[in-house]
Amino acid sequence: KAHTINGANKRGRDGTSVGARCFSASSSSSSGIQSIKSEMEYHGFCYMQPRKWPRSDGYLHYRKKTMTGHLVCAVHADYYLLIRSFAKLAEVDIRVMHASV
């Protein structure tokens, strides 16, 4: 039997049901951002606020900074989540994936 969460049945690749959490918009949004921020800091990234106006050339430019003796990359959360998923797929470290982009 599949778990029904928000009207969707969740199953793994092997056909077994996968449990997923339902999030409420008010309480989990701040805790979700805090968990992403702490995970980003653990992997050597610094959280940047979302941009309101994109650059004219359409590309995002990220800079590396040295903070407390460590090299830190300031990136947006959506970029970090994208890089993290590709790094898991390629089975490499997130910083290696970021350096290769």
Q: Residue 24 has what pLDDT?
A: 39
Q: Residue 47 has what pLDDT?
A: 82
CA distance 2 to 88: 26
Average model confidence (pLDDT) across the chain: 70
Q: Between these two residues, 23 and 50, which has the higher pLDDT value?
A: 50
Count of other CB atoms within 10 angstroms of residue 51:
9
Share of residues in the chain with pLDDT > 70 (%): 51
Q: Residue 1 has what pLDDT?
A: 45
Write out the H or E segment, with its range, that includes residue 84.
helix 77-90
User: Which among 21, 20, 19 has a CA at the least distance from the CA of 31?
Assistant: 21
Q: Give the three-class secondary structure for 99.
A: helix
DSSP track, 15-83: S-B-------TTHHHHHHHHHHHHHHHHTTEEEEPPPSS--TTS-----EEEETTEEEEEEEHHHHHHH
18 confidence band (pLDDT: 50, 70, 90): very low
Q: Between these two residues, 13 and 30, which has the higher pLDDT value?
A: 30
pLDDT, mean of residues 46-54: 73
Give the type of residue at 71: L
